Structure 1
C-alpha cells in the first residue's frame, strides 16, 4: 500500500502546482474578503456625557470578514456647517498596564498610565465610538440648555466601513453630548443647564432644590430616638460632593460629617469604620474634623470590580459606628453613598445631618 499512497500524494501536489501556474498564466483575481451590504450599528444617536470615558458600541458586521476598518467622515451640523470640535486633539490618559486595585502608592498607579494625544472623539478598531474624558464643555459645546434638539445644533456624521472586499457608508449618525457632570450621583443639578435641580416633590418652587441622599441603616436621632431617613418626603441627612475649598494638594479626597449646627463631627465617633480599606487612597490623615486621602482620579480609576469598587462603576463611602442598646446588646449603624468622581483635583464628600445628630450615646 505504501507506493499507492505516494502516487496519490504526487497527483495532489501536481494539481496544486498546475492550478498555481494557471492563476499566474491567466492572471486570475486574488480572493477578496466579504463585506456584507447589511453592516450596521445598533444605535445611531449617541448621547455621551462630556468629561468622562464614554464607550458606545453596537457594530454588527453581519458575518463580514475581519479585519474591518472604520472612518468618521462628513461631520457636519444639521444646517451643513462643518464640525471640527469633535476632532480636537488633547492629551488624555491611556493605560499601559492593567489597574488591579492592589497598587500600594500613587506612583505605582501613575506608572501604569501615560498621557497621549487623541482626538476627543474617535472610533476604535472594534467599531466602538469613544469620547475621551479629556473633553470639556469649553472644547465641545454641550446640547442646548433648554433640552431642544434642533437640527442646526446637532452634529451629524457618517461612518465608512471598509475591508479588502469593499466599503460601505453608514449615514446620519447624531451625537448630542450632555454637559459635564463631574460626579455621581448628580441628581442635585440639572443635566442640561448645570444649575441646581428642583425639588422633585415641588418642581416649580424655585426656593427648593434637590439633594444627593445617603442611605441610612439603623441611624437613630439623638433627640427623637427615631430612625433618621433621607428620601423625597423627608431629608434628615443629605450629601454634598464638591470641590475642596482649601487644604488640598491637587489630588486629594476629604470625608466630612456635619451635625445640625453645621459643625464637624469627630470621625473617631464612627468607631466601626474601616478607614484604610474604604478608599483606594494613600497617606490618610485623620483630624477631629475630617479624614483625607491622596487619590488618583477618576474614582474609580477603571470600571472593573475591585475591593474598592465592588460594582465596578462606583466607589463607596460607608461610615459605621456601634453603641450599647437596651439590654446591653450592641447596636451597629451605618450610612453612606456609592459614588464616582470624574474630574481630577481636590474634592470633599460631606454628609450633613440637617435635623438632628446621630445618637452615639449608650442606652
Structure 2
C-alpha cells in the first residue's frame, strides 16, 4: 500500500509535485512545530503606555454622557476592563455609581423619519444598567438614569475637596498580562434639564447671576434666541439679543396640565400677553420639532414628543447639528420700498428630562412689528 502511494507520487508532474511538497512542509511548520518543540502559545500584546488622555471625568447628571480618550497604544484587542478600588478621597467606598436603574437602550436606529410616538418607542427598550460603566472599547458611560437623587453632585459652594471626589482604578487585562491605571476621578455636575442652561447656576441649580453684575441679587442671566430682521413696533429699529440689549429672552420651563410628554411653544409681548401663533405666518409648524398631534390655539402650539430632545445625537431634519434641536419661527411683512421682509427668531435647544415643557420667547421692551410699512 505504501509502495503504491510512492508510485503515485512519482507519477505526478514536476510542478504538481513541488506544490504538494510545499503544502506538506507548510502544514508541518504551522501545525506541528509547536507540538514537536513544545513552544508556548502566542500571547496578546499589552503596552506599558496604555492610558487615557484625561483622567478626570465630569459628567452632567440626568443625561447620557460618553467619556473616553482611551489610548490602547497598539495593544491587542479585545481587552477586559474592570473598575476597582472605587473610593472617595477620604477612603470611604464609592457605591452610588454602581447602583442599577432602568435606562433606555436603542435596539433599532432612530433617523428622525418616524411617523408616531409608537414607532419611536418600538425602536428602544428599558434595560437595567449600572449608572456608571465602562464599555469593551474603553469608553466610559454615565447613563441618563443617574440623577441628583441617586448620585450626589459636586458641592453647591463650588469647593473641590478630595473627600467629595470619587476616585477609582481601572484594571485592564488581555492574554498578554494586565495593568492598572490608578486614580481616575469622577466629579459629576448636577442635573441641567435643558440646554442652553446659561440661566442656571451650575452649582446650586438656582438662577444664574448676570455675568455683568454677578454680585447683584436683583439681576440674573437669561437664555437668548437667535434673531434676524425683527423690527420693534414702537421703535422701528432692529431688536437685539446681546448682553446689553436683552430685547428678547427665552424661558425653558415646565408647565402644568400636559400629558407627561408634551412640548409647547409660546411667544409673549412686552406686557407678558401671549401673541397669537397665527401672526408668525411663515412658520412651518408641522416641521418645527419631531412631534405629533399638534394643538394650535390662540396662545400656543403644542406637540406630543418623545424625550430627550433630540432623542440621539445624530443629524436629522429637526436637529441638523445632531446635539441640539433647531426651532425657528418666521413671519413676513412688506418693508420700505415694497420688498417683502422675512423675520426669523428661534433657538437651538435640548431637553433631557421627560415631562411637560414649554419654550417661551418673551419680547421684553418692544413688540415685534407685523404691519406693512
Whether these two folds match at TM > 0.5 is yes
Distance 1:18 1:38 in 2: 34
Q: Please state if 1:208 is matched with 2:208.
A: no
Q: By how many angstroms is 1:18 displaced?
A: 6.6
- Encode CA deviations 1:120-149: one digit per residue, 9 max, x unaligned: 100011110000001100101001112221
- Encode CA deviations 1:243-299: one digit per residue, 9 max, x unaligned: 1122x1111000000111111000000000001111000011100000000000000
Q: By how many angstroms is 1:22 displaced?
A: 4.7
Q: Which runs of 5+ in 1 are unaligned?
A: none
Helix, strand or coil: the match of 2:27? helix
Helix, strand or coil: the match of 1:9? helix
Distance 2:16 2:67 in 1: 57
Matched with 1:153 is 164
Q: By how many angstroms is 1:15 displaced?
A: 5.8
Distance 2:246 2:22 in 1: 87
Q: By how many angstroms is 1:222 displaced?
A: 0.8
Name whichever of 21-30 and 265-274 sits farther off.
21-30
Q: By how many angstroms is 1:207 displaced?
A: 0.5
Q: Please state if 1:359 is matched with 2:363.
A: no
Distance 2:122 2:29 in 1: 58
TM-score by length of 1: 0.97
- Encode CA deviations 1:36-55: one digit per residue, 9 max, x unaligned: 11111111000110011100
Matched with 1:236 is 247
Q: Which runs of 5+ in 2 are unaligned?
A: 1-11
Q: Please state if 1:80 is matched with 2:91.
A: yes
Aligned residue-pair number: 362
Q: Please state if 1:297 is matched with 2:297.
A: no
Matched with 2:42 is 31
TM-score by length of 2: 0.94
Q: Which runs of at least 4 in structure 1 moved beyond 6 Å after TM superposition?
A: none
User: Of 103, 118, 124, which aligns to 2:135?
Assistant: 124
Q: Is the CA contact 1:257–1:290 (under 8 Å) kept in the aligned structure 2?
A: yes
Q: By how many angstroms is 1:17 displaced?
A: 2.9
Q: Is the CA contact 1:187–1:197 (under 8 Å) kept in the aligned structure 2?
A: yes
Larger radius of gyration: 2
Correspondences of 1:128-277 after superposition (within 5 Å): 128-246=139-257, 248-277=258-287
Distance 2:97 2:330 in 1: 45
Q: By how many angstroms is 1:16 displaced?
A: 3.1
Q: Is the CA contact 1:201–1:233 (under 8 Å) kept in the aligned structure 2?
A: no
Helix, strand or coil: the match of 1:347? strand
Helix, strand or coil: the match of 1:249? coil
Q: By how many angstroms is 1:14 displaced?
A: 4.3
Q: By how many angstroms is 1:327 displaced?
A: 2.6
Q: Please state if 1:287 is matched with 2:297.
A: yes
Q: By how many angstroms is 1:5 displaced?
A: 4.2
| Distance verdict in 2 for CA 1:17–1:233, change over 3 Å | same
User: Of 45, 70, 91, which aligns to 2:56?
Assistant: 45
Distance 1:18 1:159 in 2: 40
Q: Is the CA contact 1:298–1:344 (under 8 Å) kept in the aligned structure 2?
A: yes
| Distance verdict in 2 for CA 1:290–1:12, change over 3 Å | same
